[in-house]
Amino acid sequence: MKIVAVCGSPRKGNTEFMLRKVLEKAKELGAETELILLREKKIEFCDGCHGCEGGSGKCSISDDMNEIRNKLLKADSIVFGSPIYYDGVTGLLKNFIDRTNPIYGKLRGKKFAFVIVGQLKGEEGELSRKLVVDFLKDISEIHEMELIDYVFGVALKPEEIADDEKTIKELEELGKKIYSE
């Protein structure tokens, strides 16, 4: 089984840590894993040319997204990760999602999970969480992927989740689920 995780954080921190934990557990169980750090990739914005429509699977923009799309197509399971920025995913992850249009319909049936990190607790934090969860659930439905589960972590500082035993257990469970379900 091949699992590809995509990290939408612009820096090394909690989101990357969370994805690595999920992948570590899946790898321990026998999965082949790969973590893609969008901050290290050159991915242009979708320009809306519609050249990818009609099932060609091709994009007129030549950048790192071409290689990443191929990895998604070969994966059995896909995991996204993002901190919450203004009640949404980061611009890095949103741009990446926009650029998956050429493979619309080709991710059907793949397992999908995600991790998100928020800074707020209480009512405001719950609203942010709900908006991001709903958005990523919609993405899984649009691409007809099988949503397995997600993990939400609360952190105010970089690497704070590394000390959160409850969240780490949830991440390990997600690694098991994305591998076995």
- Residue 80, pLDDT score: 98
pTM listed for this prediction: 0.94
Measured in whole angstroms, the distance separating CA 22 from the mean position of its chain's CA atoms is 12
Of 156, 146, 85, 67, which Cα lies nearest the Cα of 114? 146
Asked if 131 contacts 87 with a C-beta cutoff of 8 angstroms, the reply is yes
Q: Is 157 exposed, middle or buried (0-12, 13-18, 19+ CB in 10 A)?
A: exposed
Q: 17 Cβ partners below 8 Å, 6+ apart?
A: 159, 161, 162
- Residue 56, pLDDT score: 67
Residue 44 is classified by DSSP as: P
- Residue 55, pLDDT score: 60
Beta bridge mates, 7? 37, 81
- Residue 38, pLDDT score: 98
Low-confidence ranges of the chain (pLDDT < 50): none
- Residue 181, pLDDT score: 63
Give buried/exposed letters for 102-141 (b at 16+ CB in 10 A, else e).
bbeeebeebbbbbbbbbeeeeeeeeebbeebeebbeebbe
Helices 165-180 + 14-28 axis angle, to 10: 50
Of 157, 81, 87, which Cα lies nearest the Cα of 127? 87
Distances (CA, A) of 94 to 33, 118, 136, 157: 22, 17, 10, 23
Asked if 64 contacts 35 with a C-beta cutoff of 8 angstroms, the reply is no
Distances (CA, A) of 157 to 15, 57, 115, 123, 129: 11, 40, 17, 20, 18
